[in-house]
Structures are given as structure tokens and as C-alpha cells.
Amino acid sequence: RRRHKPSAEVLAQGIIKGDITYLSRAITLVESSNPLHLEKANTIIKHCLPYANKSVRIGITGVPGVGKSTFIEAFGSQLTTNGKKVAVLAVDPSSSLTKGSILGDKTRMEDLVKDPNAFIRPSPSGSSLGGVARKTRETIILCEAAGFDTIIIETVGVGQSETAVHSMVDFFLLLKLAGAGDELQGIKRGIIEMADTIVINKADGDNLKAAKLAKVEFNRALHLYPAKASGWQPKVTLCSALQQEGIDAIWDIINDYVEATQKNNYFEHHRNEQNKFWLLQTIEDRLKSDFFGDSKIKEALKSQLELIENGKTTPFAAAEYILSL
């Protein structure tokens, strides 16, 4: 007997009631490349939208080994102990290359994965960052509708993925290490500029002194940046994810941020701006994938590339021709 597949409406109702199995199924539809699945996913999202939005979305980034999974495990467990419902998602565009995600891997967060008030989902795979980001963004909506009030989105410092995550969260947290000797040189300016808080992890044992020094340095550096549109002055704080120290203080900072930005209306404004940005981004992605996915275009592109290689046409003439198709 064929297994009965619940309709979009049934799935949506289940999600709104907090059914994790239905949530997982819906996310699988969001992540699918089958147009029928996408259509179903869109219906589910439409039903879920009125129930989404009541959350804090937190982006977490840092180089491999900085302690992201250890931190999220400690931070997330602290939150669920305080009655929060935590969803951990990941954005890892490299997963399509390595055929496996290095982020959000369930085995990396042993306690949290067993926690009934936590939901962990590895990075969707995809050929482009745009695709991965779109799927994650839709997954945020579904998780919020299922009652998750704290959404953590993890990404590793590979290329543009921090920017993509920054554009889908309320609060952006950068994890750093002290004593690497390159406190200020080694970091991409743009990422520091995005951070609402820099957390210096592994501030324990022999590392503590260096961590305190790094805090002073980062504080000094942060003051050189222009004021943020949010009106928020980024904080620098120490933490030991391993020993679970400094975790409470980080949650306090995030709460202060949410309170301050709700008061000055930046919180809502920022989400609106993000929605507008994502509208345009979605159109761009769809146009691109429809265009380059078209078999006629694929063939023409191949032959025009050959002509270019043999010096038989110019890039502009070739583009003109392909676009005219």
C-alpha cells in the first residue's frame, strides 16, 4: 500500500501545532529541486507566514575550530533551560561540493540534539549560495511557525556566506580567538563591520590573559567604525564555550539589543528591509536559474563559448545572440 502523503494544508496545520515530523517534512520540500515539491512548499509557507516572525534570529560565524558548535551547544542548552525553543540552522554553500555538510552536523551537538526544545537542521545543499540562502530563509519561517522563538543560523567564514546570513538575522555574532597574533589584520573588515557582538571564545586556562588583551584591542578597533544604523554600539565579550562561562552575559547583550532596537523601531524596519532585499534576490535567483537551466540556452551558450575561444565572435555579440533567444 502506498504511504499516504499529507497535503500542504495538513502539513501546515501540523507545523503550527508544533509537530516536528511535519516540520522536517516541509523543510525537505523546501529543499527539493522538484517543481511540484516547491509548489507544495510555497503553499505551506503561505499558511505558516501569519504564525512566523515572533522570534529573535541570531547569526553566528567564525573560522573552523573557533568553537561554533561547542558554543551553540552551550548557548542553546542555556536557552532551552530558560524555557526557550531553539532552532539551529546552517548556511554552508560548500556542502554541495564536499557532498556533506561540515556545519550543523547533528553529531557535533550531542546534548542539543537530544533536547526536546531544540531543533537542529544541517545546511541545505545547493549549487549556489543564493539557493542555499533561499532555502534557509524559508526554513526560518517554518521553524517560527512551529513555535521556535530563537533561531540560530550558523555559518563558516567562506566567501559571501556571512553576508547572506547577516541579511537574514536580527543580530550578528562573531566568534574570535585571542592570541592568534593577527587580532586585527587577519579579519576581513566587512565581517567586523557586520558584527553586533564579538565574542572571544576559549577565554580559559592559559588563554585567559591573551583573551583579555584581545578584548581591549577589539574594543579599540570597533570604535573606529562608523556608527551603526541600528544605533547599537557593538560589544566585545569573553566566553569559554567549553567551560560554559560567559554564556549568560551574551544572552543579556542580545536581549539588550532587541529591547533597544524595538524601542527605536529599527528591529521592524530592518526586517522589512531584509524582506524587500529578499524579494529582489529571489527574482534574480529564479531568473538566473530558469535562464541557465533552459536546454536551448545551454546549447547556445556552449557553441558561443566555442566561437569565442576560436576568436570567431565577441562576448557582446555572443551575449546579444543568447539573450535574443
Which amino acid is present at 87? A
Query: CB of 325: closest distance to ligand GDP in angstroms?
Result: 46
Nearest to 169 by CA among 177, 158, 161, 157: 161
b/e per residue 207-238 (b: at least 16 CB within 10 A): beebbeebbeebeebbeeeeeeebebebbbbb
Give whichever of 70 and 304 is closer to ligand GDP, judged by the CB atom: 70
Considering only residues 204, 278, 289, 322, which one is a binding residue for ligand GDP as defined by CB under 6 A? 204
The 86-91 sheet, strands edge to edge: 118-120, 86-91, 150-156, 56-62, 171-177, 197-201, 235-238
Query: CB of 88: closest distance to ligand GDP in angstroms?
Result: 12
How far is the C-alpha of 197 from the C-alpha of 235, rounded, in Å? 5
Give whichever of 43 and 244 is closer to ligand GDP, judged by the CB atom: 244
Query: CB of 140: closest distance to ligand GDP in angstroms?
Result: 21
Query: CB of 99: closest distance to ligand GDP in angstroms?
Result: 19
Partners of residue 198 on adjacent β-strands:
174, 236
Q: How many CB atoms lie within 10 A of CB 316?
A: 8
Measured over all CA atoms, what is the biggest interatomic distance in the chain, rounded to whole angstroms?
A: 68
Told to check if 19 binds ligand GDP by CB under 6 A, we report no
Considering only residues 67, 93, 104, 126, which one is a binding residue for ligand GDP as defined by CB under 6 A? 67
How many angstroms from the chain centroid is the CA of residue 9? 27
Query: CB of 175: closest distance to ligand GDP in angstroms?
Result: 7
Considering only residues 49, 158, 180, 242, which one is a binding residue for ligand GDP as defined by CB under 6 A? 242
Question: What cell was used for 208?
Answer: 585567559
Point out which span in 4-12, 60-68, 84-92, 268-276 binds ligand GDP (CB under 6 A).
60-68
Point out which span in 65-73, 114-122, 224-232, 257-265 binds ligand GDP (CB under 6 A).
65-73
Q: Binding mask 163-202 vs ligand GDP (x if CB under 6 A, - otherwise)?
A: --------------------------------------xx
Told to check if 153 binds ligand GDP by CB under 6 A, we report no
Considering only residues 69, 94, 197, 230, which one is a binding residue for ligand GDP as defined by CB under 6 A? 69
DSSP conformational letter for 29: H
Told to check if 35 binds ligand GDP by CB under 6 A, we report no
Point out which span in 40-48, 139-147, 218-226, 234-242 binds ligand GDP (CB under 6 A).
234-242
CB 162 within 8 A of CB 61: yes
Query: CB of 70: closest distance to ligand GDP in angstroms?
Result: 3
Which amino acid is present at 267? F
CB 137 within 8 A of CB 168: yes
Told to check if 161 binds ligand GDP by CB under 6 A, we report no
Told to check if 247 binds ligand GDP by CB under 6 A, we report no
Told to check if 241 binds ligand GDP by CB under 6 A, we report yes
3-class secondary-structure state, position 224: coil
How far is the C-alpha of 273 from the C-alpha of 167, rounded, in Å? 9
Told to check if 65 binds ligand GDP by CB under 6 A, we report yes
Told to check if 61 binds ligand GDP by CB under 6 A, we report no
CB 116 within 8 A of CB 51: no
Told to check if 139 binds ligand GDP by CB under 6 A, we report no
CB 71 within 8 A of CB 58: no
Residues that bind ligand GDP (CB under 6 A): 62, 64-70, 201-202, 204, 240-242
